[in-house]
Structures are given as structure tokens and as C-alpha cells.
Amino acid sequence: MKTISTDNSHGGTQGVYVNRSEVCDCDMTFAVFLPPQAKGRKLPVLWYLSGLTCTHANVMDKGEYRRLAAELGIVIVCPDTSPRGDAVPDEPDNWQFGKGAGFYVDATEPPFAQNYRMYSYVVDELPQLIAAEFPVDMTRQGIFGHSMGGHGAITIALKNPERFSSCSAFAPISHPSVSGWSKPAFQKYLGSDEKNWRAHDACSLIEDGHRFPEFLVDQGTADSFLEDGLRPEELRQACETAGISLRLRMQEGYGHSYFFISTFMEDHLRWHARRLGD
């Protein structure tokens, strides 16, 4: 692990780091905010997964999480959204696929299978590095994210309920195997057999018996991707059928940007803090 930068913020430290990822076969950049309490003890950790076209930096620059994370004593980890580098296959003119659009899956189709293994990176490789290098209590982990990252957070929590104490999302892609802006990516990453997509689709995972105690989801009513891309009502129906507690808050007039995310960031941090506890 190499340190790219560190800056003091709210008594803590916002750092940016890079590691050579074995699973993604490239260098991966990530951000970690350490609150001031980290100087004396291990703290709970909250993973934030970003959306399409983003890097680790979008939420770091615009998410407005540090003041409250410092108050609550929570470490915030922000991975990148995809592998990077000249050797990584990409479709530069397609913002819904390739670099910036890893969808938190492990690709099985060439040429993407060599690098696009974001599920294994976020679930296995990066947590091992974070546990070794930072003062975190890995028995107290939460996960949240936005859009593609909301999809990633919910699916990862559903598949790893023993690891995470909390999960929330801003405008998640709830049913990506049928969504117009994610179905083509799934086909390229995971192949044409749609049965293989179910392991990376929140609604399908719930239908197939995966469970998580509760979710908090905020969704803007003025989000231009609401009906086709995000489909929150389908997540609501899946959770109701399965008996999963879902607090779906439709936020009047809000869109899909970080103006929306930063407005409700405090609610999400406090919600996670109550579940991560001491």
C-alpha cells in the first residue's frame, strides 16, 4: 500500500491510498477517513460504494460525511468503482460499462474476467488490507452506496449477512437484470445466461432466499432514472414478500446527484452508527 495524500479534517485524517490488487490485476485507489478517536482504539468501519462514472473521489469531495463521521467515531472507506489502467479493457464511449462501471460483480466473460472482479476486491481483498493497515474493528461493519454502488451494497449485504451490521442506499439500482442501463453490462460481464445474473441482483437474491434484517433506502422523486434504471418499488415488493424490513423514503423533488446524497448523508450515518454501536 502506498499513500497518495493525507489531509487533516475535523480532527481526523482523510487519506488516499493505492494498492496493487491481485484480484483485479491492476493498481487500485481508495480513500479512508480516520476520525480523531482512531488514535486510541479500533473503530467501526462503514464502506461506501460509488455509482457509475465515479471514482473513490466523488463522495470524498462532495458527500459531506467527515464532520459527522468524526463526531460518531466511524471509519469511512471509499473504494474505486472499477479496475483502472491502460491494459484494462474498456468501452470509452459507453459510460454504463467498463472503467467506472464495474457493477461490483466478478466478471466471467473474456476479456473482462481478468480485471473486472470488483466483488472479490470489495468483499475479500480490500477488507484484508484495511484490517491490516488501519485501526478498524472488523466485527462492526456497515455498507452503503449510491446508484450502482447502492446495488453493490445491498447485494453484498444479502450475500454476507454475517459480516455486516447495517446496510443502506441512495437511489440503488434495485433490479439490474431487467434495468435498461445495467442489463447490457451484465450480459458482457456475466454472459448471456440470465440465471447467472441472479447472484448480483437484489430482487433476485431475495427471491432466491437471501436475507438481511433491514435496509434504509432514500430515493428522489425527480430522479430521471427512477422508472427504468432504479425500480425501487420492485425492491419494496421483494422485501415485503420476504418479510425484510425496508424503510424506503421517497424524497420529493430530489434528483440523482450528490446534492441529493449530501442532503441525506447525515441520516444514513446516524442510522448506521446506531447499529454499529460500541
Q: Cell numbers at residue 265, please?
A: 448523508
Find the largest Cα–Cα distance for the chain. 51
Segment 85-104 shows an average pLDDT of: 95
| pLDDT band per the 50, 70, 90 thresholds, residue 121 | very high
- Looking at residue 101, what DSSP letter applies? B
Query: How far is 64 from 14, CA to CA, in rounded Å?
Result: 12
Residue 125 confidence (pLDDT) above 80: yes
The residues near 124 (Cβ < 8 Å, ≥ 6 apart) are: 23
Q: State residue 180's pLDDT score.
A: 85
The residues near 9 (Cβ < 8 Å, ≥ 6 apart) are: 33, 66, 70
Residue in the block written with cell 485524517: 13
| pLDDT band per the 50, 70, 90 thresholds, residue 169 | very high
Q: State residue 181's pLDDT score.
A: 82
Residue 201 confidence (pLDDT) above 90: yes
Give the residue numbers marked as catalytic: 147, 223, 256
56-60, 256-260, 274-278: segment of lowest average pLDDT: 274-278
Q: Cell numbers at residue 132, please?
A: 491490516
For 7-44, how does the pLDDT look when each residue is reduced to its tens digit (9 = 90+)?
A: 999 999 999 999 999 999 999 999 999 999 998 899 99
Pick from 250, 232, 55: which is nearest to 149 by CA? Answer: 55
Query: How far is 76 from 63, CA to CA, in rounded Å?
Result: 11
Residue 278 confidence (pLDDT) above 70: no
Instruction: Output the pTM of the full model.
Output: 0.97
For 171-182, how does the pLDDT look when each residue is reduced to its tens digit (9 = 90+)?
A: 999 999 998 889
For 189-198, how does the pLDDT look when each residue is reduced to its tens digit (9 = 90+)?
A: 999 999 999 9
